[in-house]
Structure 1
Amino acid sequence: MSTAGDAEEIALFRETVRHFIDTEVAPHDQEWERAHIVDRSLFRAAGAAGLLVPNAPERFGGGGAPDWRFNAVLDDEFGRSGYAGEAIGLALVNDVVSPYLLECTTEEQRERWLPGLITGETIGAIAMTEPGTGSDLAGIATRATLEGDHYVLNGSKTFISNGQNADLVIVAARTSPDRHRGLTLLVVDANAEGFSRGRNLDKLGLLSQDTSELHFADVRVPVADRLGDEGDGFLQLVRNLPQERLSLAVMAVAAGEAILAHTLEYVTERKAFGTPIGSFQSSRFTLAELATEISVARVFVDDCVARHLRGELTAVTAAKAKWWTTELQVRVAHRCLQLFGGYGYMREYPISRFYVDARIQTIFGGTTEIMKEIIGRDLGV
């Protein structure tokens, strides 16, 4: 799948990501957690380090490496680090927003939008979910009406990651009553008249991630800022969702591995009745079960990455990876926290943050139930 040179380059990239986390994220994380938003400098620093849109062509300032393994390395290292709020902000740009701006755009649009995204001066978001519409993309009600050379956009979105920081927002809007062919993607400039941000939502976890409500009141969006043709939106979303779900799966497995490592360290040091708690049979069995499940998940996710590189990752396989690994992440966090006893409930221990940050994984990017529905339909039932 790779040459020795490729492997060396990816290993060097992994070291770059680790250094970036140590120097640009760790020192500021608690401040950003308290503020419930990362500073925009995080994205500029990521751009300077070459961590944003590494697969973009060099003519736009990208790394020119059309190899999703670089994205996977960033997802893996951030998932392992425990800095999930920052991880989601950067992964959103790399794995969710950038594919639309690379694959659904004209050369003129790419020239306008990609350079800023790559340097981190421009922060991107995508707005699909609405107050009354979750995983059902076909139920989107935000409307865009064509008037001359502009669309007039009206509606509201919620649970939008990077919502407070975003400069460009890809908005899924209804341009006709047709349930599937009636969706169109528009790129909205945050400075546009009629665009407003609601509150930065107060979440259980991912505290450093700005998750917001967005409102569009007669926002005039140039036709030149439409992605593809009118009515292409549903197909564009469906085509790109597998990569988003694979990104979440990569982070889930890495987080599970990190949680297990933290727990093993703790149970070998912590004693009860004069004996390390890890030596009790119940603890050993719990750890053995989790270690096995994580190993199985890692092999499956690595295979999914290989399939994605070959252009063979299907929506069904991505759904399997997403629901299984994220449910595993929640289960690992739950069972490992128990082994920490009362200390696991303390914020000073990383396990407590892994625990609360894991819970959203089975919800965003498509709930576990929606993933099972996708798989079930493919089975013909």
Structure 2
Amino acid sequence: MTSMYFTEEHNLFRKSLQEFLKKEVVPHIEDWEKSGEIDKSVWLKFGEMGFFGINYPEAYGGLDLDLFYTVILLEELQKINSGGFAAAVWAHVYLAMTHLNAEGDETIKEKYLVPSITGEKIGCLCITEPFGGSDVAGMRTTAVKKGDTYVINGSKTFITNGVSSDYLVIAAKTTPEMGNKGISIFVIDRDVPGVSATKLDKLGWRASDTGEIAFDNVTIPVSNLMGEENKGFAYIMQHFALERLIMGINAHARAEYALDYAQQYMSERTAFGKTIDRFQALRHKFSDLHAELDVCKNYNYAVANALDKGEYVVKEATISKLQCTKMADEVVSQCLQFLGGYGYMEEYPMARLFRDSRLGPIGGGTSEILREILAKIIIDKKEYKPAT
């Protein structure tokens, strides 16, 4: 049924990516999960293979491929069972780099996007603040224009790659009295004076670094502004559709991994003289979970197809993240239950998967916020439009 979206070239790409991950990433995952640090040499290998440039223009070293290559990348990253490593990749490629490509001028693209595609530079996106959470419009970080510079003060938190990245894409208020209409987007080098980061200790996603970042009179040139001043909120909202769809795809992929593992385990584990996949209570629950996964996966493919064609899919992507992350949490929890006591043991994959999956309904906009956004679209007939 899903073959309508994937060509033979897509399938060959998937096999190549699987082999790459098995050779270059999987052997190191346990070390990275324990240390909380990813060896930067792996980013250069990703760059050499072109994985960071999948959907970026050839002019900057990208491959300019359709969105289903991105779907494949996201799905396969979830199946190595390290939500943290996967997050470090997609936060760089589809959060930071998305803004560079969409709002950066030629100078910024040459300085940041080109080395981002090769893996020489890794980025992070800084929007969430300690007192704001999902309230993007309520941010307090400011960027005050002084001559040919901006002076930035404030803080950001829960930033993936927030400690180890080479540059930061940051949202700040340039005209605070205008509320959400006074936000702008900037790119900042990590080593600029006044930038400091503290690593946060997390429940899951332990391979990636998540940081709280402070900006103390950080002075940057006016040329580091991306896009137009005071249009940052529209840029952020526009790109949220991709971020939410990514998290929806991540969710269906990790649910699929969990079910595949549980099915294999259940076919081998015996109790009362037969394998546990023969017990009706387990078989029927497994079937329910598989059905929920299938609905979510095919919905995500349809939304990805629409987005790839240039449609504005804010509503659909919001539904994707809301429903798929809820589904994934249920699937992973039940799969852990299928394994019984072994599901609770760290040497089996479900314990880590359980922790990593829990961030799904929180990151990129909590489920509560997403429900309110959908209520505004469905009930209040609010229209969200692309940035112009």
For the aligned pair, the TM-score class normalised by the smaller chain equals over 0.9
Trace 1:148-167 onto structure 2 (pairs within 5 A). 148-167=147-166
Partner of 1:355: 354
Superposed, 1:334-353 pairs within 5 Å as: 334-353=333-352
Please state whether the residue corresponding to 2:358 is helix, strand or coil: helix
Number of the residue aligned with 1:224: 223
Unmatched tracts of structure 2, length 5 or more: 381-388
Q: 1:196–1:92: structure 2 CA closer, same or farther, 3 Å change rule?
A: same
RMSD: 1.7
- What does 1:276-355 align with in structure 2 at a 5 Å threshold? 276-355=275-354
2:180 alignment counterpart: 180
**CA separation in 2, counterparts of 1:172 and 1:256?**
33
> Helix, strand or coil: the match of 1:361?
coil
Q: Is residue 32 of structure 2 the alignment partner of residue 40 of structure 1?
A: no
| CA distance in structure 2 between the partners assigned to 1:114 and 1:146 by the alignment | 25
SS in 1 for 2:211: strand
Determine the C-alpha separation between the residues in 2 that align with 1:6 and 1:371: 30
Corresponding residue of 1:9: 9
Distance 2:345 2:118 in 1: 37
1:82 aligned residue: 81
Cα deviation digits, residues 91-144 of structure 1 (max 9, x gap) = 112221222111112122211111110111100000011110111110010111
Asked whether the 8 Å contact 2:5–2:301 carries over to 1, the reply is no
- Please list the CA deviations of residues 8-29 of structure 1 after superposition, one character each: whole Å capped at 9, or x if unmatched: 3222221221112101111111
Aligned residue in 2 for 1:191? 191
Decide whether the 8 Å contact of 1:146 with 1:152 is kept in 2.
Answer: yes
The superposition leaves residues 17-66 of structure 1 with CA deviations (integer Å, 9 ceiling, x where unpaired) of 1112101111111111111121111211111111002222223222233x
Task: Specify the alignment match of 2:29 in structure 1.
Answer: 29
1:308–1:5 Cα change, 3 Å: closer
AA of the residue aligned to 2:100: L
Shift in alpha-carbon separation, 1:6–1:111, aligned structure 2, 3 A:
farther
Note the C-alpha offset of 1:87. Answer: 0.8
Q: Please state whether the residue corresponding to 1:288 is helix, strand or coil.
A: helix
Secondary structure, aligned partner of 2:223 = helix
Gapped runs of 5+ residues in structure 1? none
- 8 Å CA contact retained: 2:104, 2:226: yes
Kindly provide the amino acid, as one letter, of the partner of residue 252 in structure 1. A
Per-residue deviation at 1:313?
Answer: 4.0
Cα displacement string for residues 251-279 of structure 1 (whole angstroms, at most 9, x for unaligned residues):
11111111001111111111122222221
Query: SS where residue 28 of structure 1 aligns?
Result: helix
Structure 2 partner of 1:122: 121
Whole-angstrom CA distance in 2 between matches of 1:295 and 1:327: 14
> What's the counterpart of residue 248 of structure 2?
249
- Count of residues paired in the alignment: 378
Q: Does 1:18 align with 2:25?
A: no
C-alpha distance in structure 2 between counterparts of 1:344 and 1:360, whole Å: 19
Once the two structures are TM-superposed, the CA of residue 241 in structure 1 deviates from its matched residue by 0.5
Cα distance in structure 1, aligned partners of 2:62 and 2:310 = 21
CA contact (8 A) 1:71 1:95 kept: no
1:205 alignment partner, SS class? coil
Quote how far apart the aligned CAs of 1:80 are.
2.4
